[in-house]
Amino acid sequence: MNDGSVRFSPIDVPSLRTSIEQHIRTAIITGAFKPNERLIEATIADQLGVSRSPVREALSALEREGLIINLARKGYHVIQFTTKDIAEVYSLRLLLEREAMRRAIEHLNSGHVVVLQGIVDQIGYAAHRSEERNLLVDLDLSFHDQICHIADHSRLYHAWNSMRQQTAMLISLTSLTHSNYPEQHQEIHQQILNAMRERDFAQSDQWLTSHIREAEARAHQALQMRRSLVEEEE
């Protein structure tokens, strides 16, 4: 339960609901709010210095993103991934991103390569700094987002974007298992980009598939680790 251990600072900006959404979304994705934790409107509103109405609207929007669920008579709770959830997210990512990769290679130009290389370089920077975990999640997601954009297929992108926040949450969760090998974050994305630059779909598809399947395996590992910790606390 959100008993005050996660603290927010008051905000005063024009787009109030958007800012509230971002505060809560960041807390969920980074793990400040734990899976299955209850989100209490009154507590969040008090910490942010706002009324409960925009908080309620923000929570409703985050429910549509798939980050929280509204349980009857129990209120809003952070989603708790199951083994099936993880399998579904990554199998759909694989299906969509492999096709996006094929199409992106057809449209790839030097400008796209510069943007993608910039993201890969930033991933290398963030991966070696534990305090940049939030940035690492954003950059990892941005790399795959760029490929889906370059593919120039609006319906494919819409389908991919519909699970964007759940993907971000899983990336954040699994990034913890790379703490002893931070170079891997940059290396795998560089390998994907190198193959794309050569317009070698077979090789880029191989690296992408390996990357997503390995990420899925780490997500299952992280889920099991979390379950073990919960059992120990009980």
Is the sign of the CA dihedral 40, 42, 43, 44 positive or negative? positive
Grade residue 31 by pLDDT with cuts at 50, 70 and 90: confident
Q: What is the pLDDT at residue 114?
A: 98
- For a pLDDT cut of 70, what percent of the chain falls above it? 88
Q: What is the pLDDT at residue 224?
A: 83
> Could you tell me which residues come within 8 angstroms of residue 41 by beta carbon, excluding any fewer than 6 positions away?
52, 55, 56, 59, 75, 76
Grade residue 144 by pLDDT with cuts at 50, 70 and 90: very high
Q: Which of 13-17, 46-50, 64-68, 157-161 has the lowest mean pLDDT?
A: 13-17
Superfamily for domain range 83-233:
GntR ligand-binding domain-like (1.20.120.530)
Q: What pTM value is reported for the model?
A: 0.81
Please say whether the structural domain 16-78 has been given the CATH code 3.10.180.10.
no
- What's the half-sphere exposure (Cβ side, CA atoms, 13 Å) at 198? 11
Task: Give the model confidence (pLDDT) of 166-192 as tens digits.
Answer: 998 888 877 665 555 668 889 999 999
Residue among 60, 186, 196 at smallest CA distance from 122: 186
- In whole numbers, what is the pLDDT of the chain averaged over residues? 88
- For a pLDDT cut of 90, what percent of the chain falls above it? 62
> Could you tell me which residues come within 8 angstroms of residue 195 by beta carbon, excluding any fewer than 6 positions away?
201, 203, 204, 206, 207
Task: Give the model confidence (pLDDT) of 58-113 as tens digits.
Answer: 999 999 998 999 998 899 999 999 999 999 999 999 999 999 999 999 999 999 99
19-37 in b/e form (b: 16+ CB < 10 A) is bbbebbbebbbeebbbbeb
Grade residue 127 by pLDDT with cuts at 50, 70 and 90: confident
Domain ranges across the chain: 16-78, 83-233
Q: Token pair for residue 11?
A: 């905000």
Task: Give the model confidence (pLDDT) of 202-221 as tens digits.
Answer: 999 999 999 999 999 988 98
Look at residue 230 and tell me whether its pLDDT is greater than 70.
no
